[in-house]
């Protein structure tokens, strides 16, 4: 799980062009949206693309997205449970 | 009532100029994106969203930043009475092509939102809280007369306008913005302002 969290931090920085953020700056438990990294709705779409492109996972129930993308940790847990 | 140019910024031939003064220069041959990120660092701008933008918006944000922060010029005029009038030749072609390439695999939402040239006007407006009207014209070459005439029209109902030319592709990076405002009686005592006319706009763009 720790390795996946580290990989996700690097992938999120690259996918979202967070050029001034380093992996160690990201608190795995901090909210990704609103506070923390302050991501927006376009970033949410990019995270959905990342999930599908890197891990082959499609979110079946849109209402689950809020909990899945709450933090890097919740995203890693979802990937671990659903990775093909 | 006449109008005058308070401030102007230019990016051309790998140089960044503000009011005729060289601010930064890059002697290496780099891409437009790398050039603009170098200028971002050179003016100590701290705006993380900058890195998410396409190159056209980066160009606009950099040029606007120097002008609007110049002696807090942006705070001298009502935000709802400040307009943005921009133009270029290449529209958003560079981003359009980049987005089209992603369509074969996973279309990029982050690129898609920049597939219109006037997105840069929105980015400038958001950063500086400008809420006046805006326009973006596609012209084959820099057209000082168009900018002058449209700005003057807008100034009949508004106080100020940020105008100019932002043209970019992989190897061309050319930005020229100026801030024009109505001249008040008090301002007429000041002699260092540039009268807003096509000839002066052309001179600032060329020199």
Chain B residues close to A21, C-beta within 8 Å: 48
CB contact (8 A) between residue B113 and residue A42? yes
Q: What is the pLDDT of residues B169-207, one digit of tens each?
A: 877 899 999 999 997 656 655 667 899 999 999 999 998
B122-155 confidence digits (pLDDT tens): 999 999 999 999 999 999 999 999 999 999 999 9
Cβ neighbours of residue A53 closer than 8 Å, sequence gap 6 or more:
B105, B106
Is some CB atom of chain B closer than 8 A to the CB atom of A4? no
Q: Could A16 and B110 be called an inter-chain contact, meaning their C-beta atoms sit closer than 8 Å?
A: yes
DSSP β-ladder status, B194-195 and B3-12: antiparallel
Q: What is the pLDDT of residues B36-73, one digit of tens each?
A: 999 999 999 989 889 889 999 999 999 999 999 887 78
The single-letter DSSP state of residue B159 is: S
pLDDT at A36: 72
Torsion of CA B40, B45, B48, B51, to 10 degrees: -10
Q: What is the mean pLDDT of residues A36-60?
A: 89
Q: Is A45 on the interface with B (CB under 8 A)?
A: yes
A65 CB-contact burial (10 Å; exposed 0-12 / middle 13-18 / buried 19+): middle
CB B193 within 8 A of CB B182: no
DSSP B183: P
Residues of B whose CB is below 8 A from A19: 37, 48, 51
The mean per-residue pLDDT over the stretch A38-49 comes to 90
User: Does A14 score more than 60 pLDDT?
Assistant: yes
Count of CB contacts below 8 A, A vs B? 31
Q: What is the pLDDT of residue B82?
A: 96
Task: Say whether residue A17 is in contact with chain B using an 8 A CB cutoff.
Answer: yes
pLDDT of the residue at A35: 73
- pLDDT above 90 (res B114): yes
pLDDT band at A18 (very low <50, low <70, confident <90, very high): confident
Nearest CA in chain B to A17: B52
For chain A, give the percent of residues with pLDDT over 90: 65
Nearest to A17 among B51, B106, B109 (CB): B51
Average pLDDT over residues A24-42: 87
Q: What is the DSSP letter of B4?
A: E
The residue of chain B nearest to residue A47, with distances taken between CA atoms, is B109
pLDDT reported for residue B188: 58
- pTM of the predicted structure, to 2 decimals: 0.90
Q: Which residues in B13-159 belong to E strands, given as ranges? A: 15-18, 21-25, 82-88, 134-138
Q: What is the pLDDT of residues B78-108, one digit of tens each?
A: 999 999 999 999 999 999 999 999 999 889 9
What's the confidence (pLDDT) of residue B58? 95
ipTM: 0.77
The beta-carbon neighbor of B106 closest among A19, A43, A49 is A49
Q: What is the pLDDT of residue B187?
A: 64
| Token pair for B183 | 């001249």
Residues of B in contact with A52 (CB under 8 A): 106
For residue A61, how many C-alpha atoms fall within 13 Å in the half-sphere facing its CB? 6
**Are the beta carbons of A20 and B48 separated by less than 8 Å?**
yes
């Amino acid at each position: 799980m720790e390795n996946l969290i580290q990989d996700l931090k690097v992938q999120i920085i690259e996918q979202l062009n967070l050029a001034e953020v380093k992996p160690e700056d990201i608190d795995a438990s901090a909210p990704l949206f609103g506070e923390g990294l302050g991501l927006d709705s376009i970033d949410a779409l990019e995270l959905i693309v990342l999930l599908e492109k890197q891990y082959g996972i499609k979110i079946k129930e849109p209402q689950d997205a809020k909990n899945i993308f709450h933090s890097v940790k919740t995203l890693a847990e979802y990937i671990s449970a659903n990775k093909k | 009532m006449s109008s005058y140019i308070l401030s102007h910024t230019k990016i051309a031939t790998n140089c960044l100029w503000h009011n005729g003064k060289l601010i930064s220069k890059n002697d290496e041959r780099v891409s437009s994106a790398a050039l603009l990120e170098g200028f971002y660092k050179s003016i100590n701008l701290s705006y993380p969203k900058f890195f998410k933008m396409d190159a056209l918006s980066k160009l606009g944000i950099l040029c606007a930043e120097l002008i609007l922060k110049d002696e807090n010029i942006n705070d001298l005029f009502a935000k709802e009475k400040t307009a943005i009038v921009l133009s270029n030749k290449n529209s958003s072609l560079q981003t359009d092509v980049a987005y089209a390439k992603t369509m074969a695999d996973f279309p990029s939402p982050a690129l898609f939102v920049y597939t219109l040239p006037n997105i840069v006007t929105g980015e400038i407006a958001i950063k500086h809280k400008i809420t006046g009207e805006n326009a973006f014209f596609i012209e084959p070459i820099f057209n000082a007369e168009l900018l002058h005439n449209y700005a003057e029209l807008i100034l009949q109902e508004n106080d100020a306008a940020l105008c100019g030319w932002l043209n970019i592709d992989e190897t061309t990076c050319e930005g020229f913005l100026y801030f024009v405002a109505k001249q008040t009686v008090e301002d007429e005592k000041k002699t260092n302002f540039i009268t807003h006319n096509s000839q002066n706009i052309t001179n600032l763009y060329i020199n």
